[in-house]
Amino acid sequence: MRLANKVILITGSGSGIGRSTALLFAREGATVIVNDLDEAKGIETLKDIHADGGKGHFIHADVTHAESVEQMVDQIIEQYGHIDVLFNNAGISGVGALHEVEPDAWERVIQVNIRGVYLPSKYVLPHMMKRKSGNIINMSSCVAEIGLARRASYSATKGAVLALTKSMQVDYAAYNIRVNALLPGTILTPFVENYLKTSYDNPATAIASIKKRQLSEELGLPEDVAQAALFLASDESKFMMGSPLYIDGGATFGKNA
Ligand code: NAP
């Protein structure tokens, strides 16, 4: 029970990494506030938490919409009194070299992946500051560090989230609030499965091309990232502040030849 009695909000936890993390955190004793834009998927995650004997609550909110994020945070504070951990996980992909990306598509990726970290943090932080206690985990990606073909908008946002994490840590350290970032490599989630389907004719070619980027023979799974998130959410990582944590099968720092 590494998260006993903690109240944890995970944005975008109806699917993929967020969902897997929500289930793990609940098994570790947390009360998990599941948030997603997709109500059916969020409720599905909550059902699985309950079926597993865990505690949780679903709140439908769009992380790009200030009013709905503020209402979500108010609702949690009213019901539980505080938020111990905020995991800013919700995000969308953006494919294309810069000149191929249409302005509206560019804007949407920026909105969800950056504003979607800014808004939940903005409304949760005053409560953490008041308690002089808090922990924020921001979802970046190893593309914040490496160049990856045809990911201009996506890598711009994930680089921004990494820089923001470091600045947030400096600003809120005095309030006993930690802020760290997760940098996964390619993880098999609906987000990636969808991209593979739309970008390649042959799934085997797609998997081979992903494997070429990393040192591990295995592809990353949502559970691999959930375990890293568990470490950051728990007090075991109390000396980690403003740091990137890589879960990428060697994609960032390794080279085979
Ligand atoms: P996923 O399976 O698509 O899950 C993301 C969830 O976020 C979806 O349920 C999505 O709902 C929700 N969401 C999207 N926009 C939202 C909004 N405005 N408000 C609230 N919820 C919203 O994706 P994933 O692969 O687990 O990715 C989770 C995070 O990890 C993202 O930030 C992603 O960039 C990051 N990441 C993923 C990988 C990877 O390889 N999978 C690697 C590095 C980083 P809808 O389905 O309705 O859009």
pLDDT band at 255 (very low <50, low <70, confident <90, very high): confident
- Give domain status of residue 210, yes or no: no
Domain assignment present for 116 = yes
Is the pLDDT confidence value at 193 over 90? no
Counting the structural domains of the chain, the total is 1
Q: What is the mean pLDDT of residues 197-217?
A: 88
To the nearest 10°, report the CA torsion of 47, 8, 181, 68: 80
Domain annotation covers residue 202: no
Average pLDDT over the chain, rounded to whole?
A: 96
Domain that residue 33 falls in: 7-187+221-247
**Residue showing tokens 């903005």:** 122
Q: Indicate whether 195 belongs to any domain.
A: no
Is 154 annotated in the active site?
yes
Mean pLDDT of 15-30: 98
- Residues 42-48 have a mean pLDDT of 98
Active-site entry in 80, 118, 123, 154: 154
Q: 29 in a domain, yes or no?
A: yes
Give the pLDDT confidence of 142-168 residue by residue, as tens digits: 999 999 999 999 999 999 999 999 999
CA 189 to chain centre: 13
Half-sphere exposure of 150 (CA within 13 A, CB side): 5
Site to probe by mutation for ligand 1, drawn from 17, 112, 192, 248 as the one with most ligand atoms within 8 Å of Cβ, is 17
Q: Inform me whether the pLDDT recorded for 2 exceeds 90.
A: yes
Show the ligand 1 pocket: residues with CB < 6 angstroms.
Answer: 11-12, 14-18, 36-38, 41, 62-64, 89-92, 112, 116, 139, 141, 184, 186-187, 189-192
CATH number, domain with residue 58: 3.40.50.720
